[in-house]
Each structure stands twice: as C-alpha cells, then as structure tokens.
Structure 1
C-alpha cells in the first residue's frame, strides 16, 4: 500500500459557496499541502481506488497539514459513508450560501461554459428542469444531516457565505484556529474574490479548445502581451436574468429545508427565506 499521507481536512462544498476562496487561503500557506485540482474521489472518481487517491498527496512534506477540496461532496449521497470508512477522524468544512443565490450562480457557471441554454426559468423549475443539480445542491438541511449520521458535529465546521462577505479575514482566522495553524501576518488580502462570474471571458469556441492546447497556453498567462491579446477578444457575459416568479418559487422550494438546517445548526437563517434578488 502507498505510504503517502491522507487528508486531515476536506472542504466538502457546497458548489458556488466560495469553496475556491477558502482553498486559496489554505493553499498558499507553507504548512498546508492542498493539491490544486479537485480530486472528486469520494464522489465521481471513487472507482480509481485508494492508491490513486493517496498518490495525490505524495508531495506532502513532514509537518504539513494535508487537505483537499471537492465542492460536490456535500450533495453526493454516497460521500459521507465513503469518507467515514477511510478517514473517520478527518475535519470537514462545509460552506453554505443562500440556496436561491447558489442555484442561480451554479446555473450561470454552466451557462458561461456553454453546457446549458438561456432558459434559466426552466432549468430552475423543479417540474421542468432537465437536471436536478441546480435545485438539489442547495438542500443543505438534508445534506448536512447525512454527514452528521457519520461524523460528530465537532468535526464539521459550517461557514455561511454571508460571513465571508461580511468579514473574510475573521473567517480565515477562525478556520486557522480550528486547524491549529498560526495566523499568517503576511497573507495576501482575503477580500479578493475567486471565480468572479462578472469577469470577461473568451468566446465559447476558444474556451472549448482541447485540454492539451490549453496546457500549452497556461504558461503565458500573466504575460503582458498575452493578456493584451486576450483582452481584445474577451467580453463580459450577458447572463439570463432570473424572473421574480422563479425567485419566489425557489424560496418556497427551500423553505422547509432551511428550517431543518437552522434547527440542526442552531442558527438564525431567516434571511435566506426572503426571496431577495439572486447574485451570481
């Protein structure tokens, strides 16, 4: 069996709830080993086996905290049992965002990738949606309860997206305390957004270039001439707006689950039941 270490921390999601942001805060630290790509091992890559999973952390140095982030773990029904069987003592971080905002942001992400069409109301309508991802990803009460069937509450830290918006430095400091890591006085500003849906993007045909071509271009990113050429063709995306009716319907859809989550966490989540405008 490969002797590579296994994670002591897993960021389990939710998708579009700033998990990339918290991973960036941890990944830049010298006392943390957190591979860049999401492994998705306990969800869609479980067939690869434990040896493959361990190999992802082979570069961890002695004394480093080993971690990974796969934002789809939270909503995957099989994931809690799989993690518990291999890593019963692992620390978990779940980041939760207003589920209406999360559903719309998730839709926008796939829209800019060209994976869904512009009929946002259909994709976020439980009766007409061709896939369940957008709606089911925000049923946090159900998903958190499933994890708590396998892990004690003290092993899971739940962070609300609203807390990150309000005071990202405080959230980072709290996570470091939980992990027993010292504060980093020289860390980059934590207010910087990651995966900003408002960023200008290349035309869809260029974004769909084969992976080998993208790898060739990767070293040029940040180069002044390359970025100048990119800016000539990159444009902001005009996202389909979410109708007021769909926004209200989503708020009603999540209401009972939000109440369940509030009881589980012992937190006031009343702001989430207000059908306020969704944010990408």
Structure 2
C-alpha cells in the first residue's frame, strides 16, 4: 500500500512536469513566432521605403533628362547632323544639347557655366557671310560678334568651296561652342562666286540666312588688286591686268578682281535656291561711314535685340576706317588691322571710266534683283 502511494505520487509529479514542459514549449513557440512576424514586417517596410525612394529618384532623373533633351519652354530642338532653329533671345537655364563629345577647347566662360547646367555644344551655322571679297566682310564679322548672342568661327573655313568632301561632321567641328539662343555664324567670301555653293548650302539647311556685303565694283577690284600686289613685288600694273592687250577697249572678264564684281550673275545662282527674304545686302560704303546703322539692320534681320550701337565705335581719321572701343577678344580700343584702310595705288582715270561703263548694266540688274539702289557711279 505504501509502495503504491509512492508510485502514484511519482506519476503525479511526472505528469505535472510534462504539462509544465508542454506549456513552456508552447510559450516558446508563440514568442518565436511573434518575433519572426515582427522581424519580417520590419524588413518588408524597409524594402517598401527603399523602392519608393528609387522610384522617386528615377522619376526625377527621367524628368531632368526629358527637359534637357528637348523639353524647353520655347520648343527649340537640336540635332547633331543638321542646323538648329531656335527662338532668339537671352540664354535660359534649360538648354538643348548635343549628346556625347568633349568640351575640350570650349571658351573659358562656357566652362564656368557648366556647373549651372548650361552645356555648350557645336552646331552647323544658322547664318553665313558669303561675300563679297574686299567689300567689308571682315569688318561686318567683327562688328556683329560684339553681340553676346552671336558666335562665329574665327577664320574662313572654306567648307562649301574647298572642303565639301570632308562632310558636315567636319564642318560642325570647326564651329564655335554655343548655348541656346545664340547664333552660329561663319564667313567665307568666296562662297558668293563659287557655282556649286548655293546648292550645297541649301542641302545643309534651306533656312540658312545669308549676309552679303557689296561695294562699288570698281573700287572693290582696285582693293582686291592692292591686296594681291602687297604680297607680290613684281606684279603688273592694274591697267595691264584689267584689260586685254593693254587697251581700254576690252575688259578682261576672266581676271578675278573684275569677274567678282559682276554681282548680278552670281546673285542669280543664289536666288535659284534661296528667297530674297533670306538674303541681307549690306552696303560696304555705309558700313565704313555709319557702322552702327548697318549693324542695326543686321541685328534686326537675325532677330536679335539691338545691343551693338554707336557706343561701340569710333572713327580713325588716319586710317579712314571705323574702329572698336572693345571686341570679343580685346577689352581695349583697337582697329581691325594694318590691312584695313590700305592706301590704293594711282589708277589711270581712263581705265576707271571704262570699268564704270562696263559694270553699269550689271549694276542696274543687281539693283533690280535686290530692290536696292546702291548709287554706284
């Protein structure tokens, strides 16, 4: 009986221990489950927040890229292989850019603008100064480059007459860096008289604006000769070159300085491809006497604000030529160069009168084509 009592007591203790162990196991499982559920919930919240941040960053990046690649407020576009048509005016913070490439060689002021988001690029020219040689094309270029919205190639590129086979990519590489709202310009006076050039320019961009500086063709021919004679000491006299067999009865129309002055024939080729509204004719004589007036006309033609005015010029009585108080390259008063305003040699008056008679019908035709009477003698 006593043994049975001990066994029952032992059995009762074992059952209680088992129950306690079972309760402990259940409790442990519950706390383990609860901990894992909390841990998983925490991880899930972190992942969701991370995805949201990435989505927001991607959205912001996409918006910025779309803005830079053509979403500007004025609707301007840029192309790496064609010219750019943009609304003229002050540069804005959002710019159309050419992707790829390097900014090596960009003007220092453009390097400074880069942190602000202004990214300059090279473009094919919007405007060409196509002629006429020895009429004031260099003066026109230097004067119009005073405008902050005009950027021009520093030297004559001769793409359309000498280097056309190199392609537009080569040509664009020779253009200056610009930002949105700026005009790209190039000057090569021989374009005006080269037969193939009008069609080639048209194929590049039929909307190209063309600037043509003209002056009295007789004076222009003498100036052309003077420049050539300064480089060649044994050059024949002007009268010997301008006429056949030294007689004033027949003008040598094959001689370059004479041939260039037949403006009407050259202009007719350009009018086959470009309307008169895309051509602006600048008087070389007036460009010297009143540069502010002619540059004002150029600024209007290009859709630019009249920034270049009388305050930019002074007249050098010694050279008989307008000079600049400052320019894009220099902040001090200076003239264009020793070759500008060069003294012409004495030409026999009979030769001059014969040349005037020769040019007169061509001048009249030129006045008809342009709608402008330049009143040359």
What interval of TM-score do these two structures reach, taking the shorter chain for normalisation?
0.7 to 0.9
Q: CA RMSD in A?
A: 2.9
Greater relative contact order (CA < 8 Å, ≥ 6 in sequence): 1
Task: Tell me the equivalent position of 2:135.
Answer: 17
Task: Tell me the equivalent position of 1:215.
Answer: none
- Decide which of 293, 303, 311 is 1:180's aligned counterpart: 303
Between 110-119 and 156-165, the greater mean CA deviation after superposition: 110-119
* Alignment partner of 1:249 is 2:367: no
Structure-2 separation of matches of 1:110 and 1:49: 31
Write the mapping of 1:49-128 to structure 2, written as runs, cut at 5 A.
49-57=167-175, 59-114=177-232, 117-125=235-243
Change (3 A) 1:7 1:100: same
* Alignment partner of 1:260 is 2:341: no
Structure-1 separation of matches of 2:342 and 2:309: 35
Cα contact 1:9–1:92 (8 A) shared by 2? yes
Change (3 A) 1:197 1:120: farther
How far does residue 188 in structure 1 lie from its aligned partner after superposition?
A: 5.9
5+ residue gaps, structure 1, are 199-221, 223-230, 275-280
Change (3 A) 1:87 1:115: farther
Change (3 A) 1:51 1:187: farther
Structure-1 separation of matches of 2:233 and 2:168: 31
Cα contact 1:42–1:82 (8 A) shared by 2? yes
Structure-1 separation of matches of 2:305 and 2:296: 9
How far does residue 254 in structure 1 lie from its aligned partner after superposition?
A: 1.0
SS in 1 for 2:274: coil
Structure-1 separation of matches of 2:245 and 2:124: 41
Task: Tell me the equivalent position of 1:162.
Answer: 285
Structure-1 separation of matches of 2:369 and 2:276: 10
Task: Tell me the equivalent position of 1:7.
Answer: 125
Cα contact 2:296–2:308 (8 A) shared by 1? no
Larger Rg: 2
* Alignment partner of 1:133 is 2:256: yes
Structure-1 separation of matches of 2:287 and 2:181: 28
How far does residue 239 in structure 1 lie from its aligned partner after superposition?
A: 5.1
Task: Tell me the equivalent position of 1:39.
Answer: 157
Cα contact 2:123–2:177 (8 A) shared by 1? no
Structure-2 separation of matches of 1:239 and 1:174: 29
Change (3 A) 1:237 1:136: closer
